[in-house]
């Protein structure tokens, strides 16, 4: 993997440190051992797991700069830096976690409540998918040998045990894998959520960010609505550069 991609994939940095390198095995072991328990628990619990998984797939500081935290110059530079990130397996795994977070919180019940971390995770999920679409080169790497029906990132029960460390490590890629999520992580494809297809570029990046902002308006309360307003602001900063 080129160093430019390495810089924006946290798990690749963590593996260089003996103590930090236990993070990925811990994440995969957690879902292997407690997937059923998490599935039966308050949905805010599994959302936290998705959050940590995204944090080892993408540099949160780069996302924040791309969102405009440090001004327009840093914002534009960060968005350019994310182009190389979109070419990684980690970026595509992050997209699945982001879409699954959207699905989980879309189906939450009022009695479940809304945890602060869930709101932050939903916000981060919007940045992951929005900037992935914005930065992704228009030509897909999706191979025509795969099925005609695109993998739906949110409207699918993902088998995380089968996925294992895919996107968290440099494992061999097998085009014949029977798992659609694994094939997406390896080879990419269109971003499809609940039957809606999103193409690369500013127009669809803005569209998906609005979807998340709308959900944040629903699940957030009081000061939590600030996250939705931030997404509306980010939406207005996205322009098609004709790249």
Per-residue pLDDT of the chain (243 residues), as tens digits, is 444 445 678 766 666 666 766 678 788 889 999 888 988 899 999 999 999 999 999 999 999 999 999 999 999 999 999 999 999 999 999 999 999 999 999 999 888 888 889 999 999 999 999 999 999 976 454 444 445 568 999 999 999 999 998 988 876 666 657 899 999 999 999 999 999 999 999 999 999 999 999 999 988 766 678 899 999 999 999 987 654
Burial of 40 (0-12, 13-18, 19+ CB in 10 A): exposed
User: What is the SS3 assignment for 135?
Assistant: helix
C-beta separation of 177 from 183 below 8 A: yes
* pLDDT given at position 15: 66
CB proximity list for 191: less than 8 A, separation 6 or greater = 95, 99, 129, 132, 133, 153, 197, 198, 199, 204, 208
Residue 198 pairs with which residues in a beta bridge?
191
CA angle 125, 201, 196 (to 5 degrees): 60
Q: Domain span at residue 111?
A: 3-237
Q: Note if the pTM is more than 0.85.
A: yes
Q: Which two tokens stand for residue 205?
A: 């990046």
Domain contains 189: yes
Domain contains 242: no
Domain contains 243: no
The CA distance from 233 to 221, in Å, is 19
* pLDDT given at position 143: 47
* pLDDT given at position 167: 86
Q: Please tell me the total count of domains within the chain.
A: 1
Domain contains 90: yes
C-beta separation of 200 from 133 below 8 A: yes
Burial of 47 (0-12, 13-18, 19+ CB in 10 A): buried
* pLDDT given at position 173: 66
The CA distance from 124 to 105, in Å, is 13
* pLDDT given at position 126: 98
């Amino acid at each position: 993997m080129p160093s430019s991609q390495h810089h924006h994939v946290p798990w690749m940095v963590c593996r260089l440190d003996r103590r930090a390198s236990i993070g990925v095995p811990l994440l995969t072991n957690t879902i292997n051992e407690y997937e059923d328990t998490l599935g039966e628990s308050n949905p805010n619990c599994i959302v936290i797991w998705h959050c940590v998984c995204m944090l080892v797939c993408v540099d949160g500081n780069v996302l924040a700069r791309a969102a405009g935290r440090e001004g327009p110059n840093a914002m534009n530079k960060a968005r350019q830096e994310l182009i190389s990130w979109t070419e990684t397996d980690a970026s595509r795994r992050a997209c699945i976690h982001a879409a699954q977070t959207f699905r989980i919180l879309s189906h939450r019940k009022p009695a479940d409540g809304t945890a602060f971390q869930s709101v932050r995770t939903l916000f981060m999920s919007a940045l992951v998918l929005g900037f992935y679409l914005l930065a992704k080169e228009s030509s897909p790497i999706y191979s025509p040998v795969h099925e005609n029906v695109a993998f739906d990132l949110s409207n699918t029960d993902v088998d995380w045990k089968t996925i294992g460390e895919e996107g968290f490590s440099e494992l061999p890629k097998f085009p014949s894998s029977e798992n659609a999520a694994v094939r997406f992580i390896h080879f990419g494809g269109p971003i499809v959520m609940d039957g809606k297809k999103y193409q690369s570029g500013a127009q669809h990046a803005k569209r998906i960010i609005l979807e998340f902002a709308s959900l944040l308006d629903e699940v957030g309360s009081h000061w939590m609505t600030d996250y939705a307003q931030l997404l509306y602001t980010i939406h207005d900063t996205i322009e098609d550069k004709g790249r």
